[in-house]
A = this chain, B = another copy of it.
Amino acid sequence: MAQRRRYLFVCVNRRPDGVPKGSCAQRGSVEIHAALKAELAARGMAKTEVRACTASCLDTCWAGPSIAVEPDGYFYGRVTLADVPAIVDALAAGSRVERLVLPPEDFDEKTAHPALPVPAAAPVTPEDQR
C-alpha cells in the first residue's frame, strides 16, 4: 500500500430525527460511502488511487450529503447513491462532477441554495393518489 492519490471523506454524522437541519446520514450518506468503497474496489482503484473514508460533521449539513475530496480541496454536496458512478468515473479521469461541487455560498447556511436539501421523494402509493 501507499499513500493514495486522493481521499474521500464522506460525512456520516447522524442527528436525531426531527432536527430541522437534518444530517448527512439521514440523507443516505452511510450507503453512499459503502457504494463508493465498493465501486472503487471493483475498479481496482482502492489500493492506489482513492480511499473512501467516513468523517464526522463537515459543517455543510444544509447541503449534505457532503464529501470532502482531498487533497483537491473541494466538496461535493447533495450527493445521492445515483451519483456514485459519475463520481468514480471523474476520479478515474482526474476530473470532477461539476454539478455536485459546492460553490462558496453553500458553505454558509444563510446563503446556501437551496437552504436545505430537497427530501428524497416518498414512494407514491395508491393511498396518496386518492
Contacts and interface: CB of A to CB of B under 8 A. Distances in A.
B3 A107 contact: yes
Interface in A1-59: 1-4, 7, 9, 51, 53-59
A1 B70 contact: no
Interface in A70-88: 70-73, 75
B3 A104 contact: yes
A70 B1 CA distance: 20
Interface residue SS majority, chain A = loop
A108 interface: yes
Nearest to A71: B73
A54 B58 CA distance: 10
Most buried by B among A4, A68, A102: A68
Interface in A55-114: 55-59, 68, 70-73, 75, 102, 104, 107-109
State the number of copies, please: 2
Contacts of A58: 7, 51, 53
Using C-beta atoms within 8 Å of the partner chain, give the interface range for chain A.
20 to 34
Contacts of A108: 1-2
A74 B51 CA distance: 14
A33 B20 CA distance: 27
Contacts of A2: 104, 107-108
